[in-house]
Chains A and B, each alone.
Chain A
Amino acid sequence: MTRFTQTRRGFLASTAAAGAAAVLPFKAAAQSSGTLRLRIDGDLDVLDPGFMTGGIEIEAQKQCLPFLAQYKREGDTVTWEPTYFVDTLEQRDATHIDFTVRDGLVWSGGYGPVTAADVKYSYERMTSSDWSGYFEALDRVDVTDERSGTIVLKEPFAPFIMVTLCHGPGAVLSEKAMKDVGERFTTEFPAICGPYKLDLTPGQRALYTPNPDWTGPKPAFERVECPIIGQVKAAELAFEAGELHCTEVAADTLARYSANMPDGAEITVGGELQYMWLGMNTQNPKLADLTVRRAIQHAVDVDSILQGAYSGTTEKSYGIVCPGLLGKRDATKYYQYDPQKARDLLAEAGIAGLELTLRTLNTQERMLAAQIIQANLAGIGITVKVLPLDSGPFWEMGQESKGDTWQDLELWLMRFGTTPDPYEATQWFTSDQVGVWNWERWTSEEYDRLYAEGTRETDPARREEIYLRMQDIMEETGAYVWINHEPEAFVHSSDVVVSAAPTGELDYRRFVRA
């Protein structure tokens, strides 16, 4: 099995150099139909940018709603550019972003042209939504005339365009249409403005067909068909059978393809900005003692997880800031893999016969990782019960607003995705996130202060210092064992060029034929 070099550049080089001989029969999907076939992993439940889960729902918003900015890839770096929907999008100064919506854009359903007032409505609405974190810096949107306006920030906040406007929360809704549906919607957009309209067959597929009201440039594919395939493995089989043009692949398949690429297939990596860790609830009585947590930190063999669960396709992690970003750590400070030290620490804490529950998503890699951790901890005398969960219950278990599971949380495997700025990842671990996303439930005044400072600071050197220090604080709590940065790899037929955001979503309208 191929071992990848640990940089993304090296990884891409190794896949490009991979041989063309296929182990398995592979037929490339026909391209003449004008239909792009992609896998989605589940139902689109809430399309509303304010109350969505994210992921494929953001993919749908990108097809059917206007955005002001979009990601742009230049070699290995990701920046942003204005979208087709705007004539101009300019940062006037640190707190003002001017925009002018393109002339001639119309909402479906007779809701008239897209206006600056729609932008104002959409963004100011977001400040009181589930995704308000992305709009914390927003003060207001000023409307200058029908199509122009200014986004006004409370304080300088450099990543606003990259983090907020390019991502799902930056979607613009029709104010009139929203008022007509009572300002909330789930599976049907009140009005759309984009190249595609969306038809959902729950449990089966999402179908994108041309939007008759769309006046802008036509996308390369007339139709996009997205069958719902829950299991990654099933999706891979469908791809190999020529039934899909593109799908995400699991780590072990990525390793296999990279060693032996099927004919007419290529791999594109997106969603590099993810970080996974083993979390511990510092308020759980069993884990309240820092020495016990420190022992667990020393007991987990992360290299085995990288090999055993991820087939060596991912980069080892030392914190929440992802590779390529300011403030990425390159070593741990308070622990390294040392089972003897771990046993000594447990003895020092006077703990014997500890039994813990490790909760994880029921995906293949995480189940394998969980079993490695289970074996590692068994080695120092801790009995671990692995509890696999489906995505619904998993994502809610630490949230106080969603039930009582947060009280019973002990250990869990968690992965967050982030945007290309270190601030985004750090926001989830502040004191006021305890019981929301800070499931480890620790608080640090210094961390909170540094977080506020980091968003205002413009000097890169100082920012780097801040984010490094913040990760030191996190690691020192003993509540984290950093595991990896797992890219989302997409296998696709060579005649399709895939457009994947650094956050992992695909943008179908930007797919082109090679």
Chain B
Amino acid sequence: MIYLTKRLGLSAAVILLVVAVLFSLLHLIPGDPATIALGPRATPEAIARYAAKMHLDEPVWTQFLIYVGNALTGDLGVDVFSDRPVATIIGERLGFTLALVCAGLGWAVLLGVPLGCLAAVRPNTALDRVTGLLSVGTIAVPSFLVSIWALLIFAVGLGWLPAIGAGEPGDLGDQLRHLVLPAFAIGLSWVGYLARMVRASMLEVMGETYIRSARAFGLRPRRVVFGYALRVAILPTVTLIGMGFGGLISSTVFAEIIFARPGLGKLIFDAVMARNFPIVQGGVLVATALYIVVVLLSDLIVAWLDPRVRETL
């Protein structure tokens, strides 16, 4: 309980600081914040409206509190061009990014974890070596390169899968087909990461007494590996997934741009190119908060699975 409180408190403090950073970014740049935020395309009315909404005539400290208050209640401001709430715009895109992240991470877990287990059960066999080579190989290729090459090979060269977009709304099969290549691209290096991580912690766990005695009692090896050892060995992997989630978000930015797929990353990128700062600010906040929440969740899962962790921090 103390662990939970402390951990939640820390995450809350970090989110608050992130909001502060985003707030001050705008104020660190010399010039009128309204003009910077809305860009050169803003009409005088829009600037006046923004200045009123952001309380630019108040002291900076009050402005900050108002900004934080708005952000925490889900009010991320208004898009410069369409006048639509930023939160609504982000809401429309977030689903695509989450689907991509889940699909990418999902296939990596489904492949990487068993591979790691098998390699750990039969260390120094051909299977282990191949897994090792595969791990290093996939980790060494940056995900945006995987995206480009996957596009080149599977969409342009072989024509097996659609190259761009997220598929027909309402047509699940079509959407899934559009998900394959980007999910493959962002998940590939994770297969390697996970296999390595699981293998290493499995080897460690398999050496522990209770596992050895379980085996000695004649429990089936499969039962021992997946029933007992994996449950313990998965802990560092859960932490790794939490920590690596930030990298995963960065990968989705590239995958969304290369495959012209709607999503949070592409939204932020397009907004950067168009100097649409309210969207950039809101999008960055949501992406960052998402990362913090995932790290928090992974820590809580580990603490729940492993009572020892609760003592530390």
Q: Within the complex, are A and B direct neighbours (CB within 8 Å)?
A: yes
Structural contact, A390 and B260, CB atoms closer than 8 A: no
A241 in contact with B163 given A45-B81, A202-B92, A230-B270 (CB within 8 Å): yes
Stretch at the interface among A231-239, A280-288, A438-446: A231-239
How far, in whole Å, are A25 and B154 apart by their CA atoms in the complex? Answer: 11
Which residues 407-429 in A have Cβ within 8 Å of B in the complex? none
Structural contact, A202 and B275, CB atoms closer than 8 A: no
Structural contact, A390 and B41, CB atoms closer than 8 A: no
Of the candidates B35, B84, B164, the one having the most CB atoms from chain A within 10 angstroms of its own CB is B164
CB-based nearest A residue for B163: A237
How far, in whole Å, are A187 and B274 apart by their CA atoms in the complex? Answer: 18
Fill in one digit per residue for A123-149: 1 if any B CB lies within 8 Å of its CB, else 0: 000000000000000000000000000
Structural contact, B275 and A390, CB atoms closer than 8 A: yes
Tell me if A19 counts as interface (CB < 8 A to partner B): no
CB-based nearest B residue for A205: B169
**Which residues of chain B have C-beta atoms less than 8 A from A402's C-beta?**
40-41
Structural contact, A392 and B260, CB atoms closer than 8 A: no
A243 in contact with B164 given A186-B83, A202-B92, A203-B92 (CB within 8 Å): yes
Tell me if B73 counts as interface (CB < 8 A to partner A): no
CB-based nearest A residue for B178: A243
Tell me if B114 counts as interface (CB < 8 A to partner A): no
How far, in whole Å, are A274 and B275 apart by their CA atoms in the complex? Answer: 27
Structural contact, A230 and B260, CB atoms closer than 8 A: yes
How far, in whole Å, are A43 and B40 apart by their CA atoms in the complex? Answer: 19
Structural contact, A43 and B164, CB atoms closer than 8 A: no
Selected contact of A396 from candidates B40, B155, B162, B165, CB within 8 Å: B40
Structural contact, A392 and B41, CB atoms closer than 8 A: yes
Chain B: minimal CB distance from A46 (Å)? 8
**Which residues of chain A have C-beta atoms less than 8 A from B164's C-beta?**
229, 234-235, 237-238, 241, 243
A187 in contact with B82 given A202-B89, A230-B270, A402-B40 (CB within 8 Å): yes
Structural contact, A204 and B162, CB atoms closer than 8 A: no
Structural contact, B155 and A237, CB atoms closer than 8 A: yes
A229 in contact with B165 given A24-B156, A43-B81, A393-B275 (CB within 8 Å): yes
Which residues 223-282 in B have Cβ within 8 Å of A in the complex? 260, 262, 267, 270, 273-276
**Which residues of chain A have C-beta atoms less than 8 A from B260's C-beta?**
229-231, 234, 238
How far, in whole Å, are A397 and B39 apart by their CA atoms in the complex? Answer: 12
Structural contact, A237 and B156, CB atoms closer than 8 A: yes
How far, in whole Å, are A405 and B35 apart by their CA atoms in the complex? Answer: 13
Chain A: minimal CB distance from B220 (Å)? 48
A403 in contact with B82 given A24-B159, A231-B260, A390-B275 (CB within 8 Å): no
**Which residues of chain B have C-beta atoms less than 8 A from A403's C-beta?**
35, 40
Structural contact, A362 and B40, CB atoms closer than 8 A: no
A43 in contact with B82 given A204-B262, A362-B273 (CB within 8 Å): yes
**Which residues of chain A have C-beta atoms less than 8 A from B273's C-beta?**
362, 390
**Which residues of chain A have C-beta atoms less than 8 A from B155's C-beta?**
237, 241
**Which residues of chain A have C-beta atoms less than 8 A from B165's C-beta?**
227, 229, 238, 243
Fill in one digit per residue for A31-65: 1 if any B CB lies within 8 Å of its CB, else 0: 00000000000010100000000000000000000
Structural contact, A201 and B82, CB atoms closer than 8 A: no
**Which residues of chain A have C-beta atoms less than 8 A from B82's C-beta?**
43, 45, 186-187, 202
**Which residues of chain B have C-beta atoms less than 8 A from A392's C-beta?**
39, 41, 274-276
Tell me if B93 counts as interface (CB < 8 A to partner A): yes
How far, in whole Å, are A240 and B82 apart by their CA atoms in the complex? Answer: 32
Structural contact, A396 and B92, CB atoms closer than 8 A: no
How far, in whole Å, are A238 and B168 apart by their CA atoms in the complex? Answer: 13
Which residues 34-86 in B have Cβ within 8 Å of A in the complex? 35, 39-41, 81-84
Which residues 233-267 in A have Cβ within 8 Å of B in the complex? 234-235, 237-238, 240-241, 243
Fill in one digit per residue for A198-227: 1 if any B CB lies within 8 Å of its CB, else 0: 000111100000000000000000000001
**Which residues of chain B have C-beta atoms less than 8 A from A241's C-beta?**
155, 159, 162-164
How far, in whole Å, are A209 and B157 apart by their CA atoms in the complex? Answer: 35
**Which residues of chain A have C-beta atoms less than 8 A from B274's C-beta?**
390-393
Which residues 462-484 in A have Cβ within 8 Å of B in the complex? none
How far, in whole Å, are A235 and B163 apart by their CA atoms in the complex? Answer: 9
How far, in whole Å, are A43 and B82 apart by their CA atoms in the complex? Answer: 9
Chain A: minimal CB distance from B3 (Å)? 41
Chain B: minimal CB distance from A360 (Å)? 14
A203 in contact with B163 given A229-B260, A390-B274, A403-B40 (CB within 8 Å): no
Residues of chain A at the chain B interface (Cβ within 8 Å): 24-25, 27, 43, 45, 186-187, 201-204, 227, 229-231, 234-235, 237-238, 240-241, 243, 362, 390-393, 396-397, 402-403, 405
Pick the 6 closest A-B CB pairs, nearest first. Answer: A403-B40, A25-B159, A237-B163, A390-B273, A234-B260, A392-B274
Known: A237-B156, A390-B273. 7 other contacts (CB 8 A): A201-B92, A230-B260, A231-B260, A234-B260, A237-B164, A397-B40, A402-B41
